[in-house]
Structure 1
Amino acid sequence: MVSWKPISPFRLCSLLRSQKDPSLAFQLFTNPNPNHDRPFRYSLLSYDLIITKLGRAKMFTQMEQILQQLQRETRFQIPEPLFCHVISFYARARLPARALHAFLSIPSFRCSPSLKSFNSLLHALLTCRQFNAMSQLMSRVHHFGTPDACTYNILISACSSQGHVERAWKLFDEMRQRGVPPNVVTFGILTNLLCKNSLVQEAFKLKEDMERGFRLKTNVFVYTNLIKGVCEIGDFDWAFRVKDEMVRNNLRLDAVVYNTLINALFKAGKKEEGFRVLEEMKNNGCKPDAVTCNVLIVEHCRQNNFVEAYRVLDGKEGVKPDVVGYNVVIGWLCKQGKWSKAVDLFHDMPRRQCAPDVVTYRTLFDALCQWMQFAEAGLILEEMIFKGFVPHALSLNEFVEGLCREGKFELLLTVLNELGRGGLCNEETWKSVVSMVCTRENMSAPFEVFDTLVLA
C-alpha cells in the first residue's frame, strides 16, 4: 500500500510557483492535503503567491475568497504591499469601486494604510480615469501622510491625461514649494504634456532645468517625448539632432525611438527617409517589434501596396504583428471595397495565431453593412455576439434597416433571434423594424418579425 506524504507549507509555495494554470493553483491552495483532516498552516508567502496568480488572471471571485480566509489569519502580520497589488489588479480590470473597497478594508486585516497604499489607490483611479474621485481622495491625504513625489507624479499624470497644462504647472510649483524634489518621472510626464500641446520650446527649457537645476540625467523617455514633439511640428533635422545627442550620452536607442521617427517620416510623406531609419534600426541591433510592423503596414496600405502589407503580416520583418496590424489591413481592404479579401484575412487570423478582437469584428461588420453584403454581415454578427462582443449601435440599426429595405425578412428573423439572445434588441432597433416593415404590402412577414421582437 502506497502512503502519500502530505504537502508541507514550503512545498505548497513551490507547487504554486510552478503551476501555470490559475484555476488548478486555486484548487491546490484550497485543498492541499485532501486525505488529511488537520488544518493546513498556510504561510504568508503562499497567500501572496495565490493572490497574485488569481489577480493577474482576473479571477476576482476566487481572489476575494482567499482574502476572506487571509482576513481570519492571526499568526502573522500582513504587509501593506500585498494590498497595493490587489488594488493594482482591480485597476487593470477597470474596477475602481473594488479598488476603493480593497483600500478601505486594509484595517480589517490588522494593517494600517499609509501613503504607499494611498498612492496605489490614487493611481488606480487615474488608470480608470476617475478624475473627480481623485480630487475627493486627495482631500483625505493628510490622514495617511505627506504627499511625496509619487503622489504628485500621479496628479500631474491626471492633468496630462486631460490636457490641463496650467494645472500641471501649478502642481509642479506646489511640490517644489513643499520641499518635494521632482524626479525623472516628473520631468518625463511634464515634457510629454508640453510636447502633446505643441509647447516644444518650453519642453526643451524644462529639460535644461532638469539637467542643470536638479542635476538629473535625461532618460530615454524624456528624449522620446522631445523627438515626438519636434516631429509633430515637422522639424526632422531637430529630431535627428536629439537622436544624435542620445547616442553621445550613451543612451541606447530603443524600438520606441525608432518607431516614433519612422512613423513621423511616413506621415510626412518622407517614405525613403523612413525606410533608411528602419535599416539603421536593424543595423544597430534594435529588433523591430509589433509597433514597427504596424507602422509599416499603415504605410504600405496608404500606398495601396497590399502585397507588402501581407509580407509584413507573414512575419518577414522578423517579428509577427499583433491584432492591430491585422485590423489595419482589414480596414483598408474594406475601404477599397475589397470586402471579400478582408473576410478571407479575418478567417485566416486563427491559423496565423492571432485572435480577432472587438475592433476586428466591428470593422468588418461595419464595412459589410456599408457594401450591402448582408449575408456575410449576419454571419459575422452571429459570431461576434457568441464571443461576447457588442457591435456599434449605429451600425446595428443600419444593418436592420438594410435587411428591412431589401425585404430579407428570413435573415432578419434569424438576426433578431440572435440579438434577443444577446440582449441587444434596443429601442432604436425596434423603431427601425417597426417603421420599415409597416411599409410592406405583404404583411405576413412583418407579423413574424413582430412575434420575434415580442419574444426577444
Structure 2
Amino acid sequence: MVDMAIELFIELDDRGLPSDAGMHTVLLKAIVEEKGAAGVLDLIQRCDILRPELFDILCNKSISFLCKKGSPETACDVYVVMKRKGSVVTRKSYYSILEDANYALRFFAKIRECGWTTATIPVTVFDNLTTNGRVLDAYKLIRDMEDNLPRMDVVDYSIMVDRLCKGSHIRKALDLCEFARKKGITLSIVTYNSVINGLCRQGCLVEAFRLFDSLQKINVPPSEITYAILIDILTKEGHLVDARKLFEKMIVLGLKPSTRVYNLLINGYCKMGQMQEGLKLLLDLEVKCLKPDEFTVSAVINGFCRNGDMEAALGSYFDFKRDGHLPDFLGFMYLLSGLCSKGRLEESQSILREMLQTRSVINLLNKVEIDVQTESMEQFLFFLCEQGRIQETITVLNEVQSMFFPVERWRTGAPSGPEKLKEIYDSKAFGIAASKSSLSSYETDMNIKSSDAENTVKNYAEEENRSQLCDFDSYFDHLASLCTKGELLEANKLAKMLTC
C-alpha cells in the first residue's frame, strides 16, 4: 500500500497537480510505520525526479520528521542527498539536526567525510541555540567547527559571551573572546562589560579590575555601564573609598553618572551609617538635574532606620512623597520595621495603608497570588491592617519579602517562602476564620460583588472587637472603588450592612 501511495504521489507531480504539507506528513508516517526510517530515505531517492521546489520541500519535511522520530542518522543521510543534488536546506532543518550537540558534531564529521570540507550552517542556528538556553551547545559547536563556521560578527559573539557569563561559564566566555579575536573580530565594550559583570558576580574582583585596566591598552574606552558594574560590586563589598574614586574618575572622563549609579553610592553610604555623605550625593544628584527614584528613597530611609533615627526616616519619607516619590517594597519594609521596633503602631498603620495603595507594591502582591495560588493577598493584608493587627500584617509581608528579596530577609531559621506564606494565609493563626472560604470573601482587588459584600460582613460579624472594622472609614476604599466603577447597588448594600 505504501509503494502505491508513493507512486501516486510522484504521478501527482508529473501531472502538475499540487500537494500540501498534510499530504507529506501522512505519507511519511505511513512509510515509517511500515518500513522504518530507512523507508524515508528510499522515498527521497525515488522522488529524485520531482520538480526541484517540491523535492526541496519534501526533503526538509523529512529531515524535521525523522529528527522528531529519533532518527537523526537517517536525517543526515537525507541531508547528504540534498547537498549532492544542490537543494536548499532550511534553517528549521538545520536546527532539527542540531537538536543534540554531540550528534551535530558527528553529523558535520560525516559530511566532511563526503568531501564537503567547506560545509557550514547558517549563523541563525547559533543564534537560536543561544536564545533558547543552549549556549553551551552553541559554544561547543563553534569550538569544534573552527574551520567551518559561518561568517559571524561582533554582535553574534557578544550575545553568546553574555549568555555564557550569565550562566556562570566565565572561562568559556573568556575563551570565546580569545577565539573571536583570533578570527579578526574587534570586540566592543558591550562584550567586555558582560565579562566584567560575570567576573564580579563570581567574586573575581582582581580579574575584573585587571580586565578593566587593560581596556585602555586595547583602545576600548569603558562606558558608564562599565563603571556602574564596578561601583556596584565595590559598594556591596564595603569598599566605599574605591567606589567613590571610580565615580569621580568617570566624571573627569566626561561620563555622566545616571540615577542608578548615584543610587549605588547613596545606598552604600547609608548602609554604612555615613548619612552625611549619602545626603550630599542626593543633593548632587538633584543639582545635576537628575530625579531620585524609588530606590533612592528606600536607600535614604534604610540609612536613617539603621541609625535608629525614625524622625528623620519619616521626615525624608514625607519630603519625598511631597515631591511625588515613594519607596519601593523594601523601603516601606525598612520604615515599618523601624517604627514597630519603637512601638509606633499608629504611624505604622498609616504607612501600611499607603503601602497597600502603591502601584509597585500592588504589582508585587499580584505576583504572590500567582506563585502561592491564593486569592487577593492585597485584600487579606488590608483586612489585617484595618483591624490594627500590624505585627501580623508585617509577618505576612516578611514572607512576601523572603520570596522576592531573600538576601534582605532577617535570618531567623524559620521556614519561609511560598510554602510558609500559603500556610499563614490558609491557617487560623490570625483568627480570621476556620477555613479558606472565609478568606475567599476578599476576592477581587477592590471589586466586591453584592454576594461578596454580604459574605464579607457576615464573616466579620463573628469576630470579636469588630467596632473598628465596622467603622465606615475602614471600608472607604472599597466603597469608593465600587462607586468609581458605577456599581452603586453593591456600594449601597455594603454601606447599609456596615452601618447596621
Q: Is the 8 A contact 1:113 1:144 kept in 2?
A: no
Partner of residue 353, structure 2: 279
Partner of residue 413, structure 2: 331
Q: Is the 8 A contact 1:227 1:260 kept in 2?
A: yes
Deviation at 1:244, TM superposition (A): 3.0
**Matches of 2:339 and 2:145, distance apart in 1:** 55
* Letter of the 2:131 counterpart: T
* Letter of the 1:141 counterpart: L
**In the alignment, is residue 173 of structure 1 matched against residue 248 of structure 2?**
yes
**Matches of 2:285 and 2:405, distance apart in 1:** 39
Give unmatched runs, 5+ long, in structure 2: 6-22, 26-57, 62-88, 373-379, 424-500
Partner of residue 196, structure 2: 122
Aligned counterpart for 2:205 among listed residues 124, 128, 131: 131
Partner of residue 52, structure 1: 131
Q: Is the 8 A contact 1:29 1:50 kept in 2?
A: no
Write out per-residue CA displacement over residues 98-148 of structure 1, whole angstroms, 9 at most, x where no aligned residue: 332233222245421122211221111111111111232223112141222
Number of aligned residues: 310
Instruction: Give secondary structure in 1 for the equivalent of 2:133.
Output: helix
Aligned counterpart for 1:3 among listed residues 13, 24, 38: 24
Describe the shift of the 1:260–1:42 C-alpha distance in structure 2 as closer, same or farther (beyond 3 A).
farther
Q: Is the 8 A contact 1:12 1:46 kept in 2?
A: no
Describe the shift of the 1:73–1:211 C-alpha distance in structure 2 as closer, same or farther (beyond 3 A).
farther
Q: Is the 8 A contact 1:159 1:167 kept in 2?
A: yes
TM-align CA RMSD = 4.8
Describe the shift of the 1:103–1:223 C-alpha distance in structure 2 as closer, same or farther (beyond 3 A).
farther
Deviation at 1:195, TM superposition (A): 0.9
**In the alignment, is residue 224 of structure 1 matched against residue 328 of structure 2?**
no
Instruction: Give secondary structure in 2 for the equivalent of 1:77.
Output: coil
Matching of residues 364-375 of structure 1 within 5 Å:
none
Instruction: Give secondary structure in 2 for the equivalent of 1:209.
Output: helix
Write out per-residue CA displacement over residues 348-380 of structure 1, whole angstroms, 9 at most, x where no aligned residue: 969x79xxxxxxxxxxxxxxxxxxxxxxxxxxx
Identical residues among aligned pairs (%)? 19
Partner of residue 65, structure 1: 140
**Matches of 2:259 and 2:138, distance apart in 1:** 35
**Matches of 2:291 and 2:405, distance apart in 1:** 36
* Letter of the 1:175 counterpart: M
Give unmatched runs, 5+ long, in structure 1: 17-23, 333-341, 354-456
**Matches of 2:99 and 2:139, distance apart in 1:** 12
* Letter of the 2:332 counterpart: Y
Deviation at 1:330, TM superposition (A): 8.9
Describe the shift of the 1:277–1:29 C-alpha distance in structure 2 as closer, same or farther (beyond 3 A).
farther
Q: Is the 8 A contact 1:192 1:226 kept in 2?
A: yes
Deviation at 1:75, TM superposition (A): 4.6
**In the alignment, is residue 257 of structure 1 matched against residue 331 of structure 2?**
yes
Instruction: Give secondary structure in 2 for the equivalent of 1:331.
Output: coil
Q: Is the 8 A contact 1:196 1:229 kept in 2?
A: yes
How high is the TM-score relative to the length of structure 2?
Answer: 0.50
Q: Is the 8 A contact 2:292 2:325 kept in 1?
A: no
Partner of residue 112, structure 1: 186
Q: Is the 8 A contact 2:130 2:163 kept in 1?
A: no
How high is the TM-score relative to the length of structure 1?
Answer: 0.54
Partner of residue 164, structure 1: 239
Deviation at 1:73, TM superposition (A): 5.7
Of structures 1 and 2, the larger Rg is shown by: 2
Q: Is the 8 A contact 1:188 1:225 kept in 2?
A: yes
Describe the shift of the 1:54–1:284 C-alpha distance in structure 2 as closer, same or farther (beyond 3 A).
closer
Deviation at 1:236, TM superposition (A): 2.5
**Matches of 2:313 and 2:190, distance apart in 1:** 38
Q: Is the 8 A contact 1:230 1:236 kept in 2?
A: yes
Instruction: Give secondary structure in 2 for the equivalent of 1:3.
Output: helix
Aligned counterpart for 1:197 among listed residues 258, 261, 272: 272
Partner of residue 78, structure 1: 153
